[in-house]
Amino acid sequence: MATSSRTWFYSTPEPRPYYIEERINTNLWKNRLQGLYMSCTQAISPIQMEGNWHGILVQFEWVPGDYFVLRTSEERRDLMGVIRQMLMLRPALAYMDELGNHVVEWHMDGGESRWKEIQGSPAFQGLERLRKDKPLLPSGK
């Protein structure tokens, strides 16, 4: 099956864990991450997956067509770069969560509302705005 982020992020995949795993893992391996296997832990929105990459905990969470969150037990810019390539979208923000995970978020709307939501909260350390451009989707105004 030819797979890309169009089959799981830009459109809603069937809520079947095996199908989601097949699409994500094929997409990861196609982008040179053969050592990472993700298991689907929640097949309905927000879709959640987890895996282990060279001893690093990796978690994905996303709502198709809205946002994607990458959580890792340590900062890995190479993994962040692959996700950026897969989504064909620049990340919006990065921070450390209350569990010490490095978190990177991609938002179709540019992340402005999420930025305002988490700014100043002690649960989010080292908050960094990565994308300050206009949203990709019209705001309806």
Tell whether 138 is covered by a domain: no
Global confidence as pTM: 0.89
Tell whether 124 is covered by a domain: yes
Tell whether 108 is covered by a domain: yes
Quick one: pLDDT at residue 33? 85
More confident residue, 34 or 75: 75
Tell whether 41 is covered by a domain: yes
Q: If phi over 0 gives left and psi between -120 and 50 gives alpha, with beta otherwise, what is residue 100?
A: left
Count CB neighbours of 130 within 10 A.
Answer: 15
Tell whether 25 is covered by a domain: yes
Tell whether 140 is covered by a domain: no
Tell whether 34 is covered by a domain: yes
51-63 pLDDT, tens digit each: 999 999 999 999 9
Domain span including residue 122: 5-129
18-43 pLDDT, tens digit each: 999 999 999 999 988 888 999 999 99
User: How many structural domains are present in the chain?
Assistant: 1
> What integer best gives the mean pLDDT of the chain?
89
More confident residue, 133 or 108: 108
